[in-house]
Each structure stands twice: as structure tokens, then as C-alpha cells.
């Protein structure tokens, strides 16, 4: 099997065979916010997420030995500006590792609104990592793929795996190589938990401040950042225990306080970064009322105004109905734990 695989990879290096990969977004229950190394994308804190079963990204990569530049299409349109720059920089990394200088044709279809805090960069760079590694004949196991995906967008490291996933910040001391090696994602054991995330899309438009810029500003200027990073460590320990115990209320409480704390760090940045909109607070109020009514429902928000409500799968329709009524202009989706990134059969290996 193994030698067949290596033969296929060697073949892939000689002939420009396309590779297509699918990856799903993930939503963090203990957030990644703040980098300690921007180039290597090493985070300040460990984070933990759930990979979703909806909103996949499908990405096809084909080397083009004759081309003078990379050609990238996102949702049928040629990519330009920052989006193109990030994909080309990522491909450069793959080229550096393989010694293959070929440019590539990249075609990516996202089912989720890009740049709206709905984790499109997570599914996008996870799919690109898997497809580009295969197209360039780079033989990486899943753990190594999480390190590669991390370089495109930090949260993408977690989308390589399905279900619940932790992304280790990695060691602070030691060499650059040790830090890079230690900052990888891995699946987290979960007990008897049957969760759903109800996603309230209150605004699908792109965010005003990119998460990259917002993180940097928060770390550099927010007096609340360090206390949050410290409490986040406790949140991670508590979250692992709550997941193992299948305790949805404990999972939800920790997720909600971790997310609100993250947004507090941004609100205290100078100048403030505020992703939360009036409709976000309307959903948060509705979630509190659901809890008053005895339904375990807990909110989390990322770099955007949209709210993801964690609840039991059995309550998902009820929670979705309550959220839909609270924000009539928005749309509501229900997600459950989904699979890790994968290469499509016949996609180049
Ligand atoms: O991967 P990035 O750079 O898009 O950062 C995303 C960070 C949050 O979504 C806000 C939190 C997280 O852990 O996913």
C-alpha cells in the first residue's frame, strides 16, 4: 500500500495531475485570538473547535508547468488583491518544500460567505493545503497537514480533522523548528454529547477589520488581552473535561464566557474593534431566555456579528425557530459535527 502511495506521489511530481479536496469550517469553543509569530502563524493560546457538517469548500489545484504565474479562481471569479496574495504565498510555501517551481491553477468554491466571520478561511485553507500537497507530490500525514494549513490561516489547522479538535499553541521556548513542530492540531475525545450549532447569520457581508489586523491590535494595545489569555488556559482544561463528560451545559458555559471574554479584549483595544452588532445582542438576549426556559443553549461569536448557538441536537429545531423569530431578516442554519478535510477520489493521487 505504502509503496503504491509513494509511486503515485512520484508520478504526481512528474505529471501535472489535478487534485481536489473538500474541507468544512470549524467554530471554536475556546478561541484562537492573538499570534506570537505572524510569519509562522504561531498562536498565543491553545484553542478548541467543532468541525461542521455544512458549508464545505471544494478546491482543485493543478500545476501548470508552462504558466508564468498562479491563476486563482474563487467562486467562479478571478481572485485579486489580498485574497490572491494569500493563496500565492501559501503555494510558495508548498513549492519551497517540494523544490517544484511550477505555478498552479487553483479553483475554489465556498458555500459560505467569505470574510463574514463564518470560518470561510478555515475551510478554504484546509482544502487548499490538502489539494496543494497532493498536486505537488508532498507526502504529509494529517498532523503535518494541520501545520501546513495553519500557515494559510490559523484556524484552518483545526479543519483538517473532523469532530472536536484542539490546536496546540506549541512551546514558547526552543528553536523556531520546535515551535513550528509543536503547533499542530489533533482530535479531542468526546463523551456522550449529541451537539448542534445553530448559526444565526445576521449579516453575511465582509467584515470591516480583518481578523489578522484585529488580533494584532488587540495583542498590542488591549489591557484585557493578557488576563483573557490566562483565563483561556483554564477554559481549555475545563472544556476538555466537559466534552469527555458529555456535559452540554458545562461545554456551553465555558464556550460562551470564552467568546465574550475575547470580544471584551477587542472592545478594550485602542482603537476598539467591535464586531458585535445590534442583531448580535438580540440573539444573545434570546439565548438567555431559552436558558431561563430550561433549554441548554449557549452563544459564541467570531470575527463578525453572526452568532452560533450551541445546544443539544434534539433541541436544534426549537432553538433555530426562536433565533429565526428574534432576527426575522437573518438566516438560520443548523450544523452538527462534521468530517475532516479529504482528497476526493481520482483527485490526483
Ligand atoms: O484563522 P483566522 O485568522 O481567520 O482567525 C479566526 C479567529 C476566530 O475565528 C475569531 C477564532 C477561532 O478560534 O476560530
Residue 37 within any structural domain of the chain: yes
142-163 pLDDT, tens digit each: 999 999 999 999 999 999 999 9
Q: Is residue 285 part of a domain?
A: yes
Residue 71 sits in the same domain as residue 177:
yes
Residue 11: its pLDDT value, please? Answer: 55
Residues 6+ apart with CB under 8 A from 292: none
Q: Are residues 156 and 17 in the same domain?
A: yes
Per-residue pLDDT, 245: 98
CA of 303 to the centre of ligand 1 (A): 7
Alpha-carbon span 66 to 240, nearest angstrom: 50
pTM of the model: 0.94
- Quote the pLDDT of residue 349: 35
What pLDDT is attached to residue 208? 82
88 and 152 Cβ atoms separated by less than 8 Å: no
Mutate to test the pocket of ligand 1, among 151, 264, 302 (most ligand atoms within 8 A of CB): 302
Query: In this structure, is residue 1 part of a structural domain?
Result: no
Q: What is the mean pLDDT of the chain?
A: 93
101 three-class SS: coil
101 and 88 in a common domain? yes
Confidence class of residue 2 from pLDDT cuts 50, 70 and 90? very low
Mean pLDDT along residues 15-21: 91
Q: CB of 124 closer than 6 A to ligand 1?
A: no
The pLDDT, as a whole number, for residue 118 is: 67
Report CA(179)–ligand 1 centroid distance (Å): 20
CA 248/CA 193 separation, integer angstroms: 7
Q: How do residues 27-67 score in pLDDT, each as one tens digit? A: 999 999 999 999 999 999 999 999 999 999 999 999 999 99
- CATH number for the domain spanning 299: value is 3.30.70.890
pLDDT interval class at 345 (50, 70, 90): confident
- Residue numbers of the domain that contains 51: 6-190+338-347
112 and 143 in a single domain? The answer is: yes
The CATH code of the domain that includes 79 is: 3.30.230.10
Looking at the chain, the whole-number percentage of residues with pLDDT higher than 70 is 93
pLDDT for the residue 15: 73
Number of structural domains found in the chain:
2
How far lies 62's CA from each of 58, 97, 110, 251, in Å?
Answer: 14, 17, 18, 42
Q: What atom in ligand 1 is closest to the CA of residue 121? A: 4
Amino acid at each position: 500500500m505504502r509503496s503504491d502511495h509513494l509511486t503515485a506521489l512520484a508520478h504526481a511530481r512528474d505529471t501535472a495531475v489535478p487534485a481536489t479536496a473538500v474541507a468544512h469550517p470549524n467554530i471554536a469553543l475556546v478561541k484562537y485570538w492573538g499570534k506570537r509569530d505572524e510569519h509562522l502563524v504561531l498562536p498565543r493560546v491553545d484553542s478548541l473547535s467543532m468541525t461542521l457538517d455544512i458549508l464545505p469548500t471544494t478546491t482543485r489545484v493543478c500545476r501548470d508547468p508552462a504558466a508564468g504565474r498562479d491563476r486563482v479562481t474563487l467562486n467562479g471569479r478571478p481572485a485579486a488583491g489580498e485574497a490572491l496574495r494569500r493563496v500565492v504565498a501559501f503555494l510558495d510555501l508548498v513549492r519551497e518544500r517540494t523544490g517544484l517551481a511550477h505555478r498552479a491553477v487553483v479553483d475554489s468554491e465556498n458555500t459560505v460567505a467569505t470574510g463574514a466571520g463564518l470560518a470561510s478561511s478555515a475551510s478554504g485553507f484546509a482544502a487548499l493545503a490538502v489539494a496543494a500537497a497532493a498536486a505537488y507530490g508532498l507526502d504529509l500525514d494529517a498532523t503535518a497537514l494541520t501545520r501546513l494549513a495553519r500557515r494559510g490561516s490559523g484556524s484552518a489547522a483545526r479543519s483538517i480533522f473532523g469532530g472536536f479538535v484542539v490546536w496546540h499553541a506549541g512551546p514558547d521556548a526552543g528553536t523556531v523548528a520546535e515551535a513550528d513542530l509543536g503547533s499542530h492540531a489533533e482530535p479531542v475525545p468526546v463523551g456522550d454529547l449529541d451537539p448542534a450549532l445553530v448559526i444565526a447569520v445576521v449579516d453575511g457581508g465582509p467584515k470591516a477589520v480583518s481578523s489578522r489586523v484585529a488580533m494584532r491590535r488587540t495583542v498590542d494595545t488591549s489591557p484585557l488581552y493578557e488576563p483573557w489569555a490566562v483565563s483561556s488556559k483554564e477554559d481549555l482544561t475545563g472544556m476538555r473535561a466537559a466534552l469527555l463528560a458529555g456535559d452540554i451545559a458545562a461545554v456551553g458555559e465555558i464556550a460562551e464566557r470564552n467568546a465574550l471574554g475575547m470580544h471584551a479584549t477587542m472592545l478594550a483595544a485602542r482603537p476598539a474593534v467591535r464586531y458585535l452588532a445590534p442583531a448580535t445582542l438580540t440573539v444573545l438576549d434570546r439565548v438567555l431566555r431559552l436558558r431561563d426556559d430550561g433549554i441548554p443553549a449557549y452563544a459564541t461569536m467570531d470575527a463578525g456579528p453572526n452568532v452560533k448557538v450551541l445546544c443539544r441536537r434534539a433541541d436544534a429545531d426549537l432553538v433555530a425557530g426562536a433565533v429565526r423569530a428574534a432576527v426575522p431578516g437573518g438566516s438560520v442554519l443548523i450544523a452538527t459535527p462534521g468530517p475532516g478535510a479529504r482528497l476526493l477520489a481520482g483527485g490526483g493521487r
